[in-house]
């Protein structure tokens, strides 16, 4: 049984500087795994990465070393040099499978509940506050099948939150887009479920928003996310050893 006092002392212990490097590693690994950073793409300079992540250059360097060890980056010296992404074919699937089989179902359920509350509320408010032009802007995002689904999903729900006139809900959408979205809308999860048509679901949500029907927009959005979570959970269960 854990000692409560010592558990509390852990909570308030100084942050380990290495955990920052790990966070950077995790962020970049995810980005490479999910194709946000593409093969052979050059990363920004160490100084730029440090500024963007809000960490020291030493932390960035430590993270880059770890990524090189995982063969996710290669470094070229000299003119035109820098850190370049290495994303061998097939790697995306296997990393995602590893991450999927590691997730905790209670945590996933809780994260998904939170996200459903955010996205559902945004859809309801969007229906109350959308002009015809706003509905049109959302509509434009529902047709483009040329882009990766997780990006389409992020842009769609972000636009809905913007139409809801809520900066806070939009910020939450941006956060969930990177935290949960890459997993929830990954191609791997979709290929496991042939019946999924996220685009048709977007169009139905958009129609409800355009019609000013907040309750329907909310319900459809909640179902849209619940279905994706269900697919993710089923895939997780097939990946976990019996």
Partner 1 sequence: MGQTTTRRAAGTALADHVTTLAEQTFATADGLRAAAEELFSGVPENALDLAALRPLVSAALGGLITGAGVITTPLADGIGALEWWMVTGPGERSRLDLDLDPASENFVDVARQAWFSAPRDTGRRHVTGPYVDYVCAEQYTLTFTVPLTRRGAFAGIAGADVFVGDFERALRPVLRGAGGPVALVNMQGRIVAGSTAHHITGSLIREPHIRAALADGVARTLTDGVTLVPCPNLPLAVLTWPTG
Q: How far is the CB of 90 from partner 1 (least distance, A)?
A: 21
Beta strand segments in 51-166, E: 73-76, 82-85
Q: Which is nearer to partner 1, 126 or 184 (CB)?
A: 126
Binding mask 9-28 for partner 1 (x = CB under 8 A): --------------------
Q: What are phi and psi of 82, to 5 degrees?
A: 145, -165
Interaction with partner 1 in 55-114: which residues (CB under 8 A)? none
Other beta carbons within 10 Å of 128: 14
Q: Which is nearer to partner 1, 38 or 71 (CB)?
A: 38
What is the total count of residues that contact partner 1 (CB under 8 A)?
Answer: 20
Interaction with partner 1 in 127-166: which residues (CB under 8 A)? 128-129, 131, 133, 137, 158, 161-162, 164-166
Q: What are phi and psi of 88, to 5 degrees?
A: -60, 145
**Angle, alpha carbons 106-16-44 (nearest 5°):** 90
Q: How far is the CB of 169 from partner 1 (least distance, A)?
A: 8
Reference 184, options 242, 99, 74, 57; nearest CA is 99
Binding mask 169-208 for partner 1 (x = CB under 8 A): -xx--x----------------------------------
Q: How far is the CB of 215 from partner 1 (least distance, A)?
A: 17
Q: Which is nearer to partner 1, 9 or 42 (CB)?
A: 42
Q: How far is the CB of 117 from partner 1 (least distance, A)?
A: 18
Q: Which is nearer to partner 1, 29 or 236 (CB)?
A: 29
Distances (CA, A) of 61 to 53, 78, 93, 152, 196: 12, 17, 27, 32, 41
Reference 102, options 11, 232, 225, 224; nearest CA is 232
**Residue/partner pairs of 62-69 with CB below 8 Å, 24 or more apart:** 62/18, 62/21, 63/21, 63/22, 63/24, 63/25, 63/28, 66/21, 66/25, 67/25, 67/28, 67/29
Q: How far is the CB of 111 from partner 1 (least distance, A)?
A: 21
Applying CB under 8 A, the residues found at the interface with partner 1 are 36-38, 41, 52, 128-129, 131, 133, 137, 158, 161-162, 164-167, 170-171, 174
């Amino acid at each position: 049984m854990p000692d409560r006092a010592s558990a509390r002392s852990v909570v308030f212990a100084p942050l380990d500087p290495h955990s920052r490097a790990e966070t950077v590693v995790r962020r970049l690994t995810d980005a490479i795994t999910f194709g946000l950073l593409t093969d052979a793409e050059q990363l920004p300079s160490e100084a730029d990465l440090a500024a963007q992540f809000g960490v020291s250059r030493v932390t960035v360097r430590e993270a880059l070393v770890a990524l090189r060890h995982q063969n996710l980056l290669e470094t070229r010296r000299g003119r035109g040099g820098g850190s370049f992404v290495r994303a061998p074919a097939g790697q995306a699937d296997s990393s995602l499978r590893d991450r999927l089989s590691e997730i905790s179902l209670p945590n996933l359920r809780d994260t998904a509940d939170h996200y459903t509350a955010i996205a559902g509320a945004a859809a309801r408010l969007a229906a109350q506050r959308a002009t015809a032009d706003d509905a049109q802007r959302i509509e434009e995002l529902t047709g483009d099948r040329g882009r990766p689904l997780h990006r389409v999903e992020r842009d769609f729900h972000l636009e809905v939150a913007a139409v809801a006139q809520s900066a806070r809900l939009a910020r939450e959408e941006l956060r969930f887009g990177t935290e949960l979205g890459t997993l929830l809308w990954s191609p791997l999860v979709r290929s496991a479920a042939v019946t999924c048509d996220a685009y048709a679901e977007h169009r139905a949500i958009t129609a409800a928003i355009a019609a000013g029907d907040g309750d329907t927009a909310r319900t459809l959005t909640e179902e849209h996310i619940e279905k994706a979570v269900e697919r993710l959970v089923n895939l997780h269960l097939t990946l976990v050893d019996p």
